[in-house]
Amino acid sequence: MGGKTHVLYNTWYHMLKRCEDPEYGGYHRYGGRGIEVCERWHTFRLFAEDIEGSLGPKPEGHSLDRIDNNGNYAPDNVRWSTASDQAKNRRDIEWGVRRLGGGGQEPLNPEGGTSKAIAFRLPAELREALEAEAERTGRSLSDIVRERLASSLEDEDGEPPPEA
């Protein structure tokens, strides 16, 4: 099956390292969160057979992506995706807050036209609800997201947070 020279070998190797080696740089985002590799895929030959059999050959400019970002690496939870598709499947954007490395958070700026980009990084069901609201009210998606972001940054008294 080609082993280390196979086009999927590096994908397999780094998938295992991210999920199983606490010394590996990205471990905290994978294995440290409980993401695992299915038992079958601990054998490279079986991993390559499954990927090539279900997804086909690796397309140029694509990499292996988990469909459910909180799910394990398993045959029913992977697909080929571009980097921009994978960016939409990240978990680091929450409503009005961007998680920072090391567990910190910072508020997102509701100004400056970034609201639409943020909307497309939201979970699909939330994005669809916002799009339905935009269609129902005749308002733009950006305006609705910007309004929600601004309100999420207000404190319990309805006042915006103090300037940093």
Instruction: Report residue 102 CA to chain centroid gap.
Output: 18
Q: Which ranges in the chain belong to alpha helices (H)?
A: 9-20, 44-54, 83-87, 115-119, 124-137, 141-152
**pLDDT per residue of the chain (164 residues) written in tens, 0 to 9:** 566 789 999 999 999 999 999 999 889 889 999 999 999 999 999 999 999 999 999 999 999 999 988 899 999 999 999 887 777 666 544 444 444 444 444 444 444 334 445 555 567 777 778 778 888 888 877 777 777 766 655 544 555 545 54
Place of tokens 């590096």: 10
The model's pTM is 0.55
Cα 90 from Cα 96, distance rounded (Å):
15
Burial class of residue 18 (count of CB atoms within 10 Å of its CB; 0-12, 13-18, 19+): buried
Q: What is the pLDDT of residue 19?
A: 95
13-56 pLDDT, tens digit per residue, is: 999 999 999 999 889 889 999 999 999 999 999 999 999 999 99
Domain definitions of the chain by residue range? 3-82, 93-152
Cα 88 from Cα 119, distance rounded (Å):
10
